[in-house]
Each structure stands twice: as C-alpha cells, then as structure tokens.
Chains A and B, each alone.
Chain A
Amino acid sequence: MTRTVVVIDDNEPFRSWACDLLAREGYAVIGHAGAGADALRLAEALRPDVLVLDVQLPDMSGFEVLRRLPGGAGATEVVLISARDRDDYGSAVLHSGARAFIGKSELSGRALRAVLDEAS
C-alpha cells in the first residue's frame, strides 16, 4: 500500500526536491508546508501516514509541533529531519514521541522506508 506523506520544511528548494524524490520513490505526497502551524493543520486535516518534520522551523521547533499534535501523533508516524545530527539534540529526539530521525542529507524514500519498517 502506498504511504501518504506530508513534508514540513521551510527551506523551499529542499522541500520541493524532497517531495519530488519521495514521490518518485513510491510515496504519495499529499501535502507540504514551511511552518509548524501548517504542520499541525495539515496533520489534523489530511491524517497522513507519515509526517516528515524539520526540527528547526520559523514559528516553533519540530519538538514543539510534536508536543502540540492533538492526541500525540495518532496514527501518523512523525519522522524528524534536521541539518544537524541526532546527537546534537541529546535525548530530545528520544523523548519527543517521533518515530525516527533522519539527517536531511540522508533523506530519501529508501531511508524513510528503512526507519519506518524498523520502527514498526
């Protein structure tokens, strides 16, 4: 079954190429946006299987988005992405409720599948 994805990242070239790549690699990209508030809105409205969420957003951090998601992430699996390393965030990723963390330069359909399948 094709997984639905929403991509949240304020770096537009990155976001657009990431959507393109994920679509090419078998995901249904049903939404994308560049801010935490949009992430909350889209997660609620579209109920995607996967929310690819940048940690550093202009209005709030990805951790804050996770804290504000109604009923946690629900059926949506949140994958945090960042230009920084996972270790740079200490235990914050672990405590965030996110399913996984992928470095932005490593993000691909294959990488996403690997962490999702591993996590579930």
Chain B
Amino acid sequence: VSDWVEVLAGALEELDVPAVVVDGQGRTRAANAAARRAEGDDVEALAAGPQAASAIVVQAGSAAEWMHRPDEHAESRRQLNEAQAVAQVGSWSADPATGRVTFSDEEYRLYGLEPVGAGPVDLRQFLSLIHPDDRRAIRDAVDRCFATGEPFNVLHRLITPDGATRWLEGRGRAFVVGGRTVRMVGTSRDVTEREAYEASLRATLEDVRASRARIVEAADAERRRVERDLHDGAQQRLVAMSMGLRLAQALAAERGDDELTSLLDATADELRGALGDLRDLARGIHPAMLTEEGLTPALESLALRSVLPAQVLACPARRLPEPVEVGLFYIVSEALTNAARHSGGTLVTVEVSDGDGGVRAVVRDDGAGGARVDAGTGLLGLQDRAAALGGTLTLDSPPGGGTTITVEVPCG
C-alpha cells in the first residue's frame, strides 16, 4: 500500500491542484508544489480542511479520491446525475485494486438495478448483467484497457432484471500512473432505439438488395424465354421453310422451269434476309450460347462481333451461377460497345478471373480515356448490374491512358 502512495505521490508532483499524502501512521505531507505553495508547510490543514477550496488527498489504505467541500460535492453530484439522466448516459468507475465498481445513478437505471445509488457493484455481478454473447468482447476490451491503457468503445447488449434486452455503447479508459493502472472510468449510453432503427434499416436494405436481384433475374429469365420461343418457334419454321424452298428450287431446276426458278430464288433471298433479321433480334434479346455452353464461348462470340478488335485473354472454364454469367456477359457486352463507340482505341481486351469468393472481369482498351460513369455512356447501368449481383464496378480512365472497367462480384 505504501508503494501505491509513493507511485501516486510521484504523479501528483506534476499537478497544479494541491495534493497531500497521508501515510499509514496518519502523518501528512505536501505531495506537490501547489500544496506547498497553498499552505506553506501546514499541510495538515489542507488534509483536514473544509476550509480548503479543493485538494487531492492520498491516504494510505484507500484509493485516490477527489476531495471537495461537502456542499460543493453534493451539488456537483446532483447536477451530474441530472445531466446523465437527460442524456441517458451513465458512468462508472472501477478500482482495479479492489475490483469494486461504482455506478452513477443513471448507470444503475440503465442496468435496471434497484435501488438506484446502492453501494459498489461487484465486477462479476456487473458482467453477469451483460448478454452472454457479448461478455467476452467486454472482458477483452476491459482487460486490454487495464493492461495497456488503451481506451475502448464496445457496443453490447445487456439483459435487465426484468428480462429486456438493451443495447449499450460502453466506453472506458484507464488512468495509468507509473506504469500501473490505478483507476478505470467509463460511460454507458443507451443506444437501444438507434440499434433497433439500424437493424430495421439493415433489414430493409437487404430486402431491397434481394428484390433488385430478383427483378434483374426475372428480366433475364424473360429475355431468355423470349429468345427461346423465337428460336424454337418462328426461327425453326422459317429455317424449315428455307429448306422446303431449296427443295422446290431443285425441282424447278430439274424441270427446266426458269420462271419458277427465278421466283423461288428471289423468295429464298427474302427468306434468308428475314432469317438474318430474326437472328440479330434473338441475339440482342439473349445470348443462347451463354445458357448452353457458358461464359467463355459467349464472350468469344462477343469479341468476334466487336467493331473494335477484341480479345478474350482469360475466362474461367467452370460454369458460374447463371445470374453471374448473365450479368458479366451484359457488362462486358456494353463495355465492348462503349469502347468501340467512344475510346478511339485499336484493341480492347477482356479478362475474367476466378478469385477468392468472387469473380473479377476486366475490360481494358488502349483508347483516349477520360470516360466517366455519369456521362451517359451506359456505365451507370453497368454499375447497377454489378450492384444487383452484390458486386462493384470501378472505372479507371485517365485522359490519354485508355479505359479500364473492373467488375468484381461475389460468387461461390
């Protein structure tokens, strides 16, 4: 205990507030210059005194304690309690030497403890009020604070004696003197309403995300269905017709009917044109290749059709979840169109790679750069596409430095 006093006395030397130390034998001495200045050598008066304005008295066998005149002490305590009640902030103070925790009135109320203002709380009792799942976090934070002096801020739940769950934001810090933690203080703020609000916001956001993904998937599924219907219906019939027509052409030629042959040739040309239009239409609606054979051939097909020379440098061989394949396909498709229209470059490359828990697609051109997401180039729509997959799209397009679009989407 006397070590303790000496350690504290050393720290007190630095303070402007007068401080005195009372040792185990009841002898009193000034602990710092302020005390010596205030009362000369008569430090006894300072230790005893209601006549003294305020001073720190360190007494062997007890913790350091701020001494005030009793009336001032009571008044400031009352004001503090009122302020804490209004702010719904409680405070506590812990003495590591004894393990005793002192609560402010509001801290008692936050923890649902009765009667308010009862004696010190046992550290174990205090921990037992905290939600079992959060105890470890609190213990770790307090232990670390005690050991290193590092302040803490821990969001945790507590179970009040009537069984209700409350969210508290607990902050704390340690007073370290001579390398030793002599006191820990902290505050608790009731953030139950804020947490409930944030939880409902999070749930709403999750709903919106899921609903956006569903809308995109439903639209993709509809396009796939329309393409399939076109292919299986009108396209197949017209293809069969063209074969029938070719047979008719052969027959007409065999019979030497030139007039009929020329009519059939003209009809066959028209039909070929109609089939071409239909193919373009179907391709624009949904790339059937994507569904049937996966992303690699579908992207290669895009590259083959790209106005600006395009190369697929890499693409995972495995099949990815359908929404990911479809999303990446549309993003790359639009990025290639953008590169052809706006970049003025000579080559655009596509690289899709499988990473930890996600897929990354990079479309890079060697053009003029200077592209912006908000410039009406469709990049905003691509960002939405990536976001619907829970992913991100980033644009790097320095003037003169080409344009790189990077899409990262989570993918199991």
Which residues from chain A sit less than 8 Å from chain B, CB to CB?
11, 13-14, 17-18, 20-21, 24-25, 56, 61, 63, 83-85, 87-92, 104-105, 107-108
Contacts and interface: CB of A to CB of B under 8 A. Distances in A.
Contacts, number: 86
8 contacts: A11-B240, A14-B243, A83-B236, A84-B279, A90-B298, A91-B297, A105-B271, A108-B246
A21 B304 contact: no
A87 B247 contact: no
Contacts of B303: 90
**Of A20, A85, A105, most B-chain CB atoms within 10 Å:** A105
**Of B279, B303, B305, most A-chain CB atoms within 10 Å:** B279
Contact of A88 (B242, B275, B283): B283
Given A56-B231, A88-B301, A105 B275 contact: yes
Contact of B301 (A20, A83, A90, A108): A90
Contact of B300 (A84, A85, A90): A90
B279 A17 contact: no
A48 B9 CA distance: 105
Given A83-B235, A87-B301, A90-B298, A21 B275 contact: no
Given A84-B282, A90-B293, A107-B246, 16 more contacts: A11-B236, A11-B240, A14-B236, A14-B239, A83-B279, A84-B288, A85-B279, A87-B304, A88-B301, A89-B301, A90-B298, A90-B300, A90-B304, A92-B289, A104-B242, A105-B243
A37 to B, nearest CB: 17
Contacts of A84: 231, 279, 282-283, 288-289
B299 A90 contact: yes
> Main secondary structure on chain B at its contact with chain A?
helix
Contacts of A21: 243, 246-247, 250
A92 to B, nearest CB: 4
Nearest to A17: B243
Q: Give chain B's interface residue range (CB within 8 Å of chain A).
A: 20 to 34
Nearest to A82: B239
A37 B275 CA distance: 28
B177 to A, nearest CB: 73
B369 to A, nearest CB: 29
Given A61-B292, A84-B288, A17 B240 contact: yes
A85 B288 CA distance: 11
B50 interface: no
Interface of B: 231, 235-236, 238-240, 242-244, 246-247, 250, 271-272, 275, 279, 282-283, 287-289, 292-293, 296-301, 303-305
Nearest to A107: B243
Contacts of B244: 13, 17
A13 B240 contact: yes
B380 to A, nearest CB: 28
Contacts of B235: 83
A104 B239 contact: yes
Contacts of A108: 246
B243 A25 contact: no
Contact of B293 (A14, A17, A92): A92
Contacts of A11: 236, 239-240
Contacts of B271: 105
A83 B243 contact: no
B250 to A, nearest CB: 5
A63 B289 CA distance: 12
Contacts of B242: 104-105
Nearest to A109: B250
B279 A104 contact: no
Contacts of A104: 239, 242-243
B293 A63 contact: yes
B268 to A, nearest CB: 9
B240 A14 contact: yes
**Of A11, A83, A104, most B-chain CB atoms within 10 Å:** A83
Nearest to A111: B246
Contacts of B292: 56, 61
